[in-house]
């Protein structure tokens, strides 16, 4: 007879305890321990599940075939870029994002793209009925006879459907709605998410099925459930974007088959998500000319150079302590740049509020955007616009020096392609390559030199 076991598990990290605690001993979060009742069933399968087993035996590593992983390319170039070249058979992919951001739309379009290549696709929805999925497919034009749809949350029924359809590509939307009848916990609990993910991991690896799991996110933006969930999968993708903007960013934070520095940019239109092939031109389409506080920065997102407008506003404060606000760039980085301008350049910003914004809803995390941020703040403080066809990039140190950054050649060529006339960049990044004809390159070593060149 099954034995009923009561425990308390943390919803943030999955740490388990026999009694309730106000503060989780694993991650230190407060009020995250929830009670779970789990039925312990004696089984002979791997990890408590007798459904799938493998007959493989240990082999010497020199006898294992080497070579590149085979990939299934979709018709979406942006998704292929983020995944590292396409979907790897047998991989387990986790996709997270805010509600209504477009996760189901992206995966349904991807399922149709693979089904159009005569691959068998099984789309399992635990949140929508098959009729609702059909209505979405009608709107997106994602209809194919090899795209199978099932509305089910029971793990055993899902396993029967996999055995019946034998898909090449499997989508679970979402993992928080699936439950294992052998685990007596509510769907979405730590135990259920862990066991169901472990089951789909064995299905993907043993049967060679590329599997995508959709994960809910918490109010902090992290994927809900134990942190172990991200360690178990091969690839973790975050679908980001602002509700008031039509652009969406697909970012890889973990990828065993490719780079984690790549992003895919999409535009949400009436008939679904449309890939953006030239994001630089898109982000600069509404840039005002001849306005103080506006500059263009050449940033790298993975292997792709992106030109984005950076805006700054410096105004006299009415409070004893001036405000520092940053959108799209790290707030601490902005504070550092303001301190360098005050100390090294003699700008009296202690009585000024400073606001910094990256236009288009994109977030820039690399230090190469420091120089553009400094020029934007100085331009707004002096109320002096920079030249409309200037591009800036470079890292700023605490002593006021401009440090070299990587991939300078790609940044300059992207600026030249879009018709910019001058690039102000670190002098040490000019070594080892030849600038293209028709664009002026100004190498600087300090912030003072950069500001002198920008306002000349």
- Cite the annotated binding site for ATP by residue number: 97-104
Binding residues, as ranges, are 97-104
Q: Which long-range contacts (CB under 8 A, 24 or more apart) does 17-20 make?
A: none
Number of CB atoms found within 10 A of residue 63's CB = 6
d(CA 263, CA 283): 15
Output phi, psi for 424, to 5 deg: -105, 120
Asked whether 393 and 371 are in contact (CB, 8 A), the reply is: yes
Asked whether 123 and 171 are in contact (CB, 8 A), the reply is: yes
Q: Tokens 């679970």 belong to which residue?
A: 172
Output phi, psi for 250, to 5 deg: -105, 115
Q: Tokens 């870029």 belong to which residue?
A: 81
Q: Which long-range contacts (CB under 8 A, 24 or more apart) does 245-252 make?
A: 245/360, 245/361, 247/276, 247/282, 247/360, 247/361, 247/362, 248/101, 248/102, 248/273, 249/362, 249/363, 250/78, 250/79, 250/82, 250/106, 251/82, 252/82, 252/83
Between the alpha carbon of residue 134 and those of residues 110, 143, 168, 222, 223, the distances in Å are 15, 8, 21, 30, 27
* Residues in Cβ contact with 183 at an 8 Å cutoff, skipping those fewer than 6 apart: 38, 39, 191, 192, 195
Count helices and strands in the chain by DSSP H and E runs: 11, 21
Count the alpha carbons within 13 Å of 257 in the hemisphere toward its beta carbon.
Answer: 26
Between the alpha carbon of residue 335 and those of residues 119, 297, 354, 355, the distances in Å are 52, 18, 9, 11
Using CB atoms within 10 Å of the CB of residue 321, give its burial: 0 to 12 exposed, 13 to 18 middle, 19+ buried.
Answer: exposed
| CA triple 361-311-438, angle to 5 deg | 100
């Amino acid at each position: 007879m099954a034995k009923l076991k009561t425990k308390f598990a943390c919803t943030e990290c999955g740490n388990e305890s026999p009694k309730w605690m106000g503060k989780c001993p694993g991650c230190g979060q407060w009020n995250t321990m929830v009670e779970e009742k789990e039925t312990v069933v004696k089984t002979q399968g791997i990890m408590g599940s007798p459904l799938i087993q493998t007959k493989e035996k240990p082999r010497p590593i020199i006898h294992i075939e080497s070579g590149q992983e085979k990939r299934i390319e979709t018709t979406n170039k942006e998704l292929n870029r983020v995944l590292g070249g396409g979907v790897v058979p047998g991989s387990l992919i986790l996709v997270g994002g805010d509600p209504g951001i477009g996760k189901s739309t992206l995966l349904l379009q991807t399922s149709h793209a693979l089904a159009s290549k005569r691959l068998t696709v099984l789309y399992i929805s635990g949140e929508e009925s098959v009729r609702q999925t059909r209505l979405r497919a009608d709107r997106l034009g994602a209809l194919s006879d090899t795209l199978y749809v099932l509305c089910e949350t029971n793990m055993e029924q899902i396993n029967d459907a996999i055995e019946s359809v034998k898909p090449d590509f499997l989508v679970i939307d979402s993992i928080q709605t699936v439950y294992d009848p052998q685990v007596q916990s509510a769907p979405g609990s730590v135990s259920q998410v862990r066991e169901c993910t472990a089951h789909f991991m064995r299905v993907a690896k043993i049967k060679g099925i590329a599997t995508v799991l959709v994960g809910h996110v918490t109010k902090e933006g992290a994927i809900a459930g134990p942190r172990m969930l991200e360690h178990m999968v091969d690839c973790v993708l975050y679908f980001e974007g602002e509700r008031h903007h039509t652009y969406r960013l697909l970012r890889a934070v973990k990828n065993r088959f490719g780079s984690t520095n790549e992003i895919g940019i999409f535009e949400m239109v009436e008939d679904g998500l449309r890939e953006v092939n030239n994001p630089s031109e898109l982000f600069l389409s509404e840039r005002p000319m001849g306005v103080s506080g506006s500059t263009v920065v050449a940033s790298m997102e993975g292997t792709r150079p992106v030109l984005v407008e950076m805006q700054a506003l410096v105004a006299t404060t009415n409070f004893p302590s001036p405000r520092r606000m940053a959108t799209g760039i790290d707030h601490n980085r902005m504070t550092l740049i303001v301190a360098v301008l005050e100390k090294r350049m003699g700008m009296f910003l202690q009585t000024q509020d400073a606001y910094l914004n990256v236009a288009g809803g994109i977030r820039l995390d690399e230090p190469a955007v420091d120089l553009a941020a400094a020029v934007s703040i100085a331009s707004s403080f002096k109320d002096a616009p920079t030249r409309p066809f200037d591009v800036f990039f470079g890292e700023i140190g605490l002593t006021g020096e401009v440090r070299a950054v990587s991939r300078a050649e790609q940044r300059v060529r992207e600026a030249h392609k879009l018709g910019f006339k001058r690039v102000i960049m670190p002098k040490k990044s000019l070594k080892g390559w030849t600038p293209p004809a028709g664009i002026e390159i100004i190498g600087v070593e300090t912030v003072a030199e950069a500001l002198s060149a920008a306002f000349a």
